[in-house]
Amino acid sequence: MHLLDKIKLREPEYDEKYYNFILQFTSEQGATMGRSTEEEQYELGKYFSTRYEMYMYATLLGLRKDYKVPLEKGADKRSFIAISSWKPTTIADYIIMSVLAKGDYDFFEMEELDIKELEKIITHIKNDIEAYANGGFEIIYSKSAEDESYFVENEDAFLELLDN
């Protein structure tokens, strides 16, 4: 199995404290999760169809701002579906490749590792993804706390966060 495929089997986690905050921006509602139309999402004031889409965005934001906040040991966590199920797959691949590029990973050395050692590195990669996502969530949360109307009155809020 290829390294990318092994990484994609992982289910990234996020800090439980962001769960209700994430739901403010997603239209996840029981059986309709991920199936609402863009018009329905707009009417609900939602930016993302599912939690993992917001997670992808938060990871990209953390990567863009080069801001990592590792999950605290002992923190209550929630996990998502495996990365292999994230759509669009090109963005999931981009996230993984960006984390690998920003990290200190020796691919030549990785080819020589046994399975146990390689699994440790894959866990480290997953932890980096989580740290960038957590950093992105912290940026979003801070912006919302700073200006409660920022995401309500500004339909380009998430695009602007990437640019600023």
Range of the domain at 155: 3-163
The answer to whether residue 138 scores a pLDDT higher than 70 is yes
CA angle at 39 for the pair 36 and 41, rounded to the nearest 5°: 55
Question: What is the pLDDT, as a whole number, of residue 30?
Answer: 43
Tell me the per-residue pLDDT of 33-68, one tens digit each, with 9 for 90 and over: 455 566 654 555 467 878 889 999 999 999 999 999
pTM: 0.86
Whole-number pLDDT of residue 1: 54
Q: How many domains does the chain have?
A: 1
User: For every residue of 59-120, which 3-state class applies, written as one string?
Assistant: HHHHHHCCCCCCCCCCCCEEECCCHHHCCCHHHHHHHHHHHHHHCCCCHHHHHHCCHHHHHH
Q: How far is CA 95 from CA 27, 74, 81, 117, 131, in A?
A: 23, 26, 15, 23, 12
**Mean per-residue pLDDT for 8-19?**
91
